[in-house]
Structure 1
Amino acid sequence: MKWTELCIYTTNEAIEPISNIIHEAGASGIVIEDPQDLLVERDTSYGEIYELNPEDYPEEGVRLKVYLPVNSFLGETVAEIKQAINNLLVYDIDIGLNKITLSEVNEEDWATAWKKYYKPVKISEKITITPTWEDYKPVSTDELIIELDPGMAFGTGTHPTTVLSIQALERYMKKGNRVLDVGCGSGVLSIASVLLGAEKVFAYDLDDVAVQSARLNTKVNKVNDSVEVKQNNLLDNVTEEPDIIVANILAEIILRFEKDAFHLLKPGGLFITSGIIQTKKQLVEQRLLEIGFELIEINQMEDWISIIAKKPE
């Protein structure tokens, strides 16, 4: 089978929204080539292996690669992706060079290209994320392993917004907590919640592809009995009263359901948000305070912000 590699030259700020656009277009995975990765000092004490070649990265900006099947709808799909990326300017998102190139690859080459980018990564004190094909062995008795298949899930779970979310869950999760994962994507935050002690997780996503990926990944990680995955628009018609609501979604989306989150949370419950770019930080903070939340923590990783807010007891 023939595939087309769609290569998008953009900025770090635009990675998350463009990723959402690509997923909505039907693609099942993305390669992110960010030259900043070459500058990061990585902890290899847990057995991680990093094989980063500077020639694989752009000289400036960020390069996103997605693989689309060569069929009669390809031209229309590419046009829709281009238009949706251009529309990000309306939200004051810097899309940088915004250059898009196309090249053809064979299915065998495509499958191999995916795997060379992913190695086990320890993203918090306890949690390590590893591709399903890696034979990774825990190096400590309290290490928690999440297995993901990037070809089916949305990313590897190592983007700063995901890392910030998981680190927050690790700090605040209590055994027996009930959690709502809004915009669950691959289900990585739901899986992490159960491994960290959650009794029950309700995972919601509007995208059916995400729902299927989350269900598969919860089964792979043997937590499917504790995670209920369903297609749903944010918190519409949700009646569960959780201890924690976690949402790794863009700020514009967070501000569509922050009131619902406040009303659903139990007194003393936490709203963990991520996916917030620096320019939207103050807006989200102000809205959460206006509703009645108390701001507990504000954390930053690269250009991304996470906010942990508490509903007063």
Structure 2
Amino acid sequence: MEFLEYIFVLPMHMEESIETFFSLNDFKNYYIDKPTKGQNVIKVYINKKNPETHVIDFLKDNLELLSKKDITEDDWLKPWRDSLKPFEFIKNIWIIPDPDKEHDLPDNVKIIKIIPGTAFGTGLHPTTKLAAKNLMKVVDNGSDVLDIGTGTGILSIISKLHGADKVLAIDYDILAVEKAKETFELNGLNISVKQSDLLYKIEKEKFDIIIANIVVPILIRLLNDEKLDEILNENGYLILSGINKEREKEIINKIFEKEYNIISREEDSGWISLLLQKRI
């Protein structure tokens, strides 16, 4: 697959706003290079068959362009993959981006193996971490979990590692679905995954926990879906993540219209995750 590589200077004070723009636009084909000497840069990769011109237009309006060139997918992914190191995702859960290498990790931690690639991040974004923190408060042995917008599959894996019984991961992006399948197999976990636009392909299943780590307009669509109430068990939990601070009030107003209580709130870098419980 052929891409265009754009390299921009990335001032430190712009990093958060640029990553927020990418998250809101569901754009994943980039990485930030922070050399020990010299200026930080952001490298952006645009599929030549499906050019996301609004992304490049935004970056050109806000950052200095250093270079632009043709590049293959393998060429740009290799140095990024090589630069990734194991890291503690949340307390006692470590992510290994390169499972083929030997790694020296602390004892008694849970490990998630991933294979980074296009349309498939490492779970570094705050929205995934915030959702995971809320998930850890409620997941238990025997829980049935639905992971909406699974992306990396990390939240589904955490559910399974902490005793969940049935876990179903769904995503609208068929490429993300295929990558999630690979990741679940890599970790030796029995997690079902399917392509679905929100709850469209969910039939008569019922869940104790529903996780939705997606952008605010899609979260509102989910909250307006009558099927959400039908598939969430009594006293069940709904975890919403991907909420930027500017739109938190909008989400809370929508929650108050529905049958949920806010149990917990997690915030990091201007992003918010809410843990809700269904009212009896």
TM-score by length of 2: 0.84
Number of residue pairs matched? Answer: 268
Q: Which position in structure 2 is the counterpart of 1:250? A: 215
| 1:228-250 alpha-carbon deviations (Å, 9 max, x no partner) | 10111101242311000001100
SS in structure 2 at match of 1:164: helix
Whether contact under 8 Å (2:131, 2:213) holds in the other structure is: yes
> Residues of 2 paired with 1:108 and 1:64: CA distance?
15
> Residues of 1 paired with 2:60 and 2:233: CA distance?
39
Whether contact under 8 Å (1:127, 1:145) holds in the other structure is: yes
> Residues of 2 paired with 1:306 and 1:253: CA distance?
14
After superposition, the Cα gap between the structure-2 partners of 1:54 and 1:194, relative to the gap in structure 1 and judged at 3 Å, is farther
Are 1:97 and 2:76 an aligned pair?
Answer: no
Partner amino acid for 2:215? L
Aligned positions of 1:119-130 closer than 5 A: 119-130=85-96
SS in structure 2 at match of 1:140: coil
| 1:39-87 alpha-carbon deviations (Å, 9 max, x no partner) | xxxxxxxxxxxxx5363524xxxx352264xxxxx2x533xx014777x
Give the unaligned 5+ runs of structure 1.
Answer: 23-28, 36-51, 69-73, 89-93
> Residues of 2 paired with 1:246 and 1:282: CA distance?
20
Whether contact under 8 Å (1:118, 1:156) holds in the other structure is: no
Aligned positions of 1:214-229 closer than 5 A: 214-223=180-189, 225=190, 227-229=191-193
Q: Which position in structure 1 is the counterpart of 2:22? A: 15
Q: 2:38 aligns with which of 55, 69, 75?
A: 55
**How much has 1:152 moved relative to structure 2?**
5.3
> Residues of 1 paired with 2:30 and 2:185: CA distance?
22
Partner amino acid for 2:184? T
Are 1:263 and 2:263 an aligned pair?
Answer: no
> Residues of 1 paired with 2:100 and 2:86: CA distance?
10
SS in structure 1 at match of 2:211: strand
Q: 1:186 aligns with which of 149, 152, 157?
A: 152
> Residues of 1 paired with 2:268 and 2:60: CA distance?
20
Q: 2:200 aligns with which of 203, 213, 236?
A: 236
Q: 1:148 aligns with which of 114, 117, 129?
A: 114
SS in structure 2 at match of 1:55: coil
TM-score by length of 1: 0.76
After superposition, the Cα gap between the structure-2 partners of 1:95 and 1:262, relative to the gap in structure 1 and judged at 3 Å, is farther
Q: 1:139 aligns with which of 70, 91, 106?
A: 106
Whether contact under 8 Å (1:152, 1:213) holds in the other structure is: no
Partner amino acid for 1:13? T
CA-atom RMSD in angstroms = 2.8
Whether contact under 8 Å (1:31, 1:66) holds in the other structure is: no
Partner amino acid for 2:270? D
**How much has 1:169 moved relative to structure 2?**
1.5
Q: Which position in structure 1 is the counterpart of 2:53? A: 82
Q: Which one is further off, 99-108 or 157-166? A: 99-108
Q: Which position in structure 2 is the counterpart of 1:47? A: none
Give the unaligned 5+ runs of structure 2.
Answer: 11-16
Are 1:159 and 2:125 an aligned pair?
Answer: yes
Runs (4 or more) in structure 1 with deviation over 4 Å come to 7-10, 98-101, 105-109
Q: 1:66 aligns with which of 42, 45, 58?
A: 45
